[in-house]
Amino acid sequence: MMRIFAISNQKGGVGKTTTTVNLAASLSKKKKKVLLLDLDPQGNATSGSGINKATVKAGVYEALIGQKSLQDIIVTTKEGFFDVAPANQALAGAEIELVDIPEREYILKKQIKALEKSYDFILIDCPPALNLLTVNALVAADSVLIPMQCEYFALEGLSDLVNTIKKVKNHLNTTIEIEGLLRTLFDKRNTLAQQVSEQLSAHFGSKVYETIIPRNVRLAEAPSYGKPALFYDKNSKGALAYLALAEEILRNQKNEK
């Protein structure tokens, strides 16, 4: 059964896109059929997957406004391991154009419906804001994967996101859950990071992934080469951490059955 994860955090710079790209690559490495759906107008997940967003003729924007179907816009990465529904700056205009459309919160959900037998996972890279694009992702998703840095301000942002998820659950998507909280850019030498990590575990318990993504140079370098870390330096700590995350997600999924 296909699983749809919205990868979301309204705070920028927490490793959201890095997580989407590298988890897509890692799940693909585990023989899963994966679609990365770029819902961020910055298009960083698109370029980080090796696709030139400047040459994208039709992307998620065209799908949302009804000019194309998602099937029409999907492209395969150079390595061929996972597919991408690309985005570029045109997507910023969708926010305005969707406002007057009936049931505008359900547009992405309806588009994804046609893909339910095509993929094992759809990973939606959300914009770093709680806007109509993010709401579409939360309505379409089965669950939310929240990447976050272990710092004080991240806890404040997490509270806002959890409240938004609750509102969506109450009014738009009754089955949505928090898939898990992923600690990213983690420096174990940092005392504050350790303290915030402990707070997260105390409050969210088993929802906090055992896997921790370390601060890693290779993870930071890989996007400039248009590659996930797994294809840039497969032995790097960052690449191995995302492989471990993919294994943990698949293990959790198996245990739920």
* Tens digit of each residue's pLDDT (9 = 90 or more) over 94-112: 888 888 888 999 999 999 9
Res 122 pLDDT > 90: yes
Average pLDDT over the chain reads 92
Query: Do residues 61 and 90 touch, judged by C-beta distance below 8 A?
Result: yes
Q: Residue 172 has what DSSP assignment? A: T
What is the C-alpha to C-alpha distance for residues 54 and 56, in angstroms, rounded to an integer?
6
Q: Residue 156: is its pLDDT beyond 80?
A: no
Which strands, in side-by-side order, build the sheet including 121-125? 75-76, 83-85, 34-38, 121-125, 3-7, 143-149, 177-186, 208-214
- Per-residue pLDDT tens for 51-81? 999 999 999 999 999 999 999 999 999 877 9
Checking if the pLDDT of 155 tops 80, the result is: no
Q: Tell me the per-residue pLDDT of 216-229, one tens digit each, with 9 for 90 and over.
A: 999 999 999 999 99
SS3 of 131-158: CHHHHHHHHHCCEEEEEEECCHHHHHHH
Residues in the chain: 257
Domain count, the chain: 1
Is the pLDDT confidence value at 188 over 90? no
pLDDT at 102: 87
CATH number at residue 132: 3.40.50.300
pLDDT at residue 253, as a whole number: 87
Residue 125 to residue 7: CA distance in whole angstroms? 5
**H helix or E strand, kind and range, residue 237:** helix 237-256
